[in-house]
Amino acid sequence: MRPQVVAHRGASHEQAEHTLGAYTAALDAGADALECDVRLTADGHLVCVHDRDLKRTASTRGIVSTMNLADLDDLDFASWKNPWADLDDEAPEVDASLGKVLTLRSLLETVRDYDHRVELAIETKHPVRYGGLVERRLVETLADFGWAGADSPARVMSFSFSALQRVERLAPELDVVMLIEKAHHWPMLRRVIGEDWKVGPGVEELREHPGLARRLVASKRDLHVWTVNNAADLEFCLELGASAVISDRPAYMLELLGGSEDTATGV
């Protein structure tokens, strides 16, 4: 059984991250799941944006939490990825809507309407201006799709233990993934996280700290490893028995694995 291939912010190696174009490319490549980060706008919409400010992905000093969705919708979230595209006379026409800000609701609609089951790994960012409101709005939005209970295609991830506790209280049947940024955090986290929580370590941290890898494998928890982009790291994850690999290059991971989606594990 191969690990689930999760498209990190979509097919973000080739396309601008968190855009509909990136997620469409990931689906076309056969990704088993899509990963996204979510933040709240000033008028209460969940949008798929990683950074708190927009300097990197939209060339503006704006802060996501202080802007309305309509303001974000006026911005170009795709050009930064290929700033010379306008100079290529032979480049195909690109639908501008594929490079706009993407709301979580739109991404959920895309997944819902796809021709087979695709899972979602949704990361809530912290610390943020609105604190626990992010998780509340997330669970409410999932509930609108009937995805806040058992057998939901969605799971919630965070580096914040408190955030995942909130999700567990609001939707106890949803899967949660405790992301691990540093190896020295694990001894404390393993004492407090739920027995059925999954864990999400970074591949570089696992390589730099072999003891962490051994302890996580010994914990018998599902491992969702990020960000796995090359053959050596994929092989390392296979040796660890990872349940999911989160990659900017889902098509490449699937090519290396040589398996169709129906051979993936149901994580």
Active site residues: 8, 50
Q: Residue type at 28? A: D
Distance in angstroms (rounded) separating the CA atoms of residues 192 and 194: 7
Distance in angstroms (rounded) separating the CA atoms of residues 155 and 152: 8
Contacts of residue 51, Cβ cutoff 8 Å, sequence gap at least 6 = 57, 64
Q: Which two tokens stand for residue 120?
A: 């979602």
